[in-house]
Structure 1
């Protein structure tokens, strides 16, 4: 986990749907109060990315020439939308269920990294716009937490990462105690 890095430029090779399903075993132990499973994943491949590009442009009010698309969804061949899908429960507030969805997304990101894939979690101000939500088929109570952009890692970039001597962050800056 300490070696995980965001890879902003991923290659065109991606895990298959079967490989992704196998990696989901790493997601199931996510902290999940009352085991509500308040999350789901949407795989975007091929023309799904055109639909997302059009939704992003519509949300921003951008008009393009025919055949010209918003380039953002084409930064990777595979995008995985992380969706918080909260359930009504008297003991588990919505914010906690959103945290579980983010935890599931991060565990999947770590599993993909461990399997050798490059991953970049991307969001944006338009992620929960009406148009983007509709493109993903989100229910009213659902919230799009972002997309994992997944693909192969260029050999030269992988070599640079392996040779990196980037120091770990000092953990003391994140630790404190309850005031006395």
Structure 2
């Protein structure tokens, strides 16, 4: 296992994956580590929903129904969740708190998702975080059985890394363009 610096520097999104996927036990091990992100107030304002098999088809139907309600053709969305054998729905679970605003709780859930993507990538799995205009629609909420205090942030699409397909490396970040000194 490499360093966090190496994992972050090597991470890449994998738009194409094979039908292989991590086991539930492997997910639990990785999620146990990902869940250690900074969490003001130790609220644990997140959860992850595992979608495999037919659950992905139900998601496709919910996305398509949402598109149709918006006056768009939903048929193209039916197969989108089938692009990976495993989808991990990232959910922010906002807890009542006088100290920790909702946006900060969403940030914790986002941090878990990003850390999970780093860990999955480092473990040899292909990962891509996907969202879209229908992520927070009623049909998609119902399909995930979200509670009133929960918000779906998107999905990690996870699968095996195909042989011979090279995803382009991301350009290095010009850190100097983003780091400023307050004088």
Structure 1: gaps of 5 or more residues: none
The 5-angstrom pairing of residues 49-88 of structure 1 reads: 49-61=56-68, 62=73, 70-88=78-96
Length-normalised TM-score, structure 2: 0.88
Distance 1:69 1:82 in 2: 19
- Which residue is 2:45 aligned to? 38
Aligned to 2:139, which of 126, 131, 150? Answer: 131
1:114 counterpart = 2:116: no
Distance 1:43 1:114 in 2: 20
Q: CA deviation at 1:28?
A: 2.4
RMSD across aligned C-alpha pairs, in angstroms?
A: 1.8
- Which residue is 1:29 aligned to? 36
Distance 1:69 1:105 in 2: 23
1:145 counterpart = 2:153: yes
1:172 counterpart = 2:176: yes
Tell me the matched-pair count: 172
Structure 2: gaps of 5 or more residues: 1-7
Aligned to 1:91, which of 87, 99, 110? Answer: 99
